[in-house]
Homo-oligomer: A and B are copies of this chain.
């Protein structure tokens, strides 16, 4: 299938579930007292987002149950033992964790904007943002205990969520540590990306299967699907920063280079002897010119670094799709394959 047709199918699948996920988030993290805390807690959740992770969680449930997409109620979804479980609560839980990590990350990185609106610590204050993140953290675990799954499966899902959170913290700490290091290997970068970004995709892809009582090897394969496609997703982000126009990106092309942010591309280039630190003279995105960026990208291209990243992302995607072979061959599985492709073919 052409990448345009794949993209169209993926965006349609995401669109079809986004409204349902948004309604669930509104229901499952309701307004409450104290008002200011809950406004801050719901603020980023309501600022939008593709809801890609919940979509993956819902699609794996549909693929595993072998039902036609969007024909079953996600709130009372057929488990493998015939009982009904609330897979939407699990999908929402993953999105709530994602939201908590963004709020705390933005405090740590002192980022001003998120999803086109001021970051929570800018719209409110740092104290409220820390507390809003902590509240979401608790809510995610509350949600995961209320799916109605077999208790052993429910407990396993909580365990997966907890270890995922531990790893995300480790990944963020490694990312901060890299800024102080003089040399980081591409493999170390990929390990960091796996911890910081991909484990939550892994959790999203395997959490509903866990709750539904799937066999261990199916859960493991789905987890690996999430890990591999999540890593590919991050590498594609790094490629896009260099190869897509500023207009389409919605921010300065090459901003990672200007801000001296290491990526798989720059780390590979360093190994090839490229003077990465000297590639762009400007220190801020307002000073850099398109010609500067163009020349820098050409040098990275000559070193084979952009191709290296693209190949790495493609390999990971191929591997991710192979993990899906444990699922019945149906439309939901086909959509999960499309999502893996989309993550590395998307233009922004």
**Are B130 and A34 in contact, CB atoms less than 8 angstroms apart?**
no
Known A-B contacts A142-B166, A155-B155, A163-B142; the reply to A131 vs B172 at CB < 8 A is: yes
Among listed A173-181, A218-226, A274-282, interface-contacting one: A173-181
Contact present for B108 and A166 (CB under 8 Å) = no
- Contact of A165 (CB < 8 Å), options: B134, B158, B162, B165: B134
Report A273-331 residues with CB < 8 Å from chain B CB: none
What is the chain B residue whose CB lies nearest that of A146? Answer: B159
Asked if A152 is an interface residue, CB under 8 A from chain B, the answer is yes
Q: Could you tell me the distance between the alpha carbons of A338 and B213 in the complex, rounded to whole angstroms?
A: 46
Contact (Cβ within 8 A) B138 A174: no
Contact of A139 among B131, B152, B166 (CB under 8 A): B166
**Beta-carbon contacts under 8 Å, A18-39 to B:** 32-34, 36-37
Cβ contact within 8 Å between B161 and A37: no
Contacts of A139 in B (CB 8 A): 162, 166
Please tell me the number of chain A residues within 8 Å of chain B, measured between CB atoms.
43
**B170 touching A145, Cβ below 8 Å:** no
Q: Does A107 contact B (CB under 8 A)?
A: yes
- Nearest-CB distance from A81 to chain B (Å)? 14
Residues of chain A whose beta carbon lies under 8 Å from any beta carbon of chain B: 32-34, 36-37, 104, 107-108, 126-128, 130-131, 133-135, 137-139, 141-142, 145-146, 150-152, 154-156, 158-159, 161-163, 165-166, 169-170, 172-174, 176-177
